[in-house]
Amino acid sequence: MSYALDTNVLARSIEEAHPMHGMARHATDSLLAHGETACIFPQNLYESWLIATRPVEQNGLGLTPSETETHLQEFARIFSLMKDVATIYAEWKSLVSQYSVIGKNAHAHASSPP
């Protein structure tokens, strides 16, 4: 069976000081140990970048873009990354990496023209 992971599970799995860290790690480890498929979507990775790079004072993890990229690569390696429009994730990742975008700006939406 396949299970879609929530972004909170990913965030808690890298936030060792969080009370839910152990539970998040146990849940994903258990799924994988039982041969289940744990799925993530590009949206999970966008949201994880936002949470991880947001300052601690703003309810984020305060990680650098480089540290965050390492975690995202690990998520994509361990879990099944489901398809989205292929170019969206590649372009987003290129932009946030190239410009070291952090926090909310990594998830910003362009405003509509008047």
* DSSP designation for 87: H
The answer, yes or no, to whether residue 101 has pLDDT greater than 50, is: yes
Whether the pLDDT of residue 104 is over 80: the answer is: no
Least confident of 19-23, 68-72, 78-82, 85-89: 85-89
Query: For residue 111, what pLDDT is reported?
Result: 37
Tokens of 62: 């305060």
Of the chain, the end-to-end C-alpha distance in Å amounts to 46
- Per DSSP, the three-state class of 47 is helix
**Residue 110 burial (C-beta neighbours within 10 Å; 0-12, 13-18, 19+):** exposed
Average pLDDT, the chain: 88
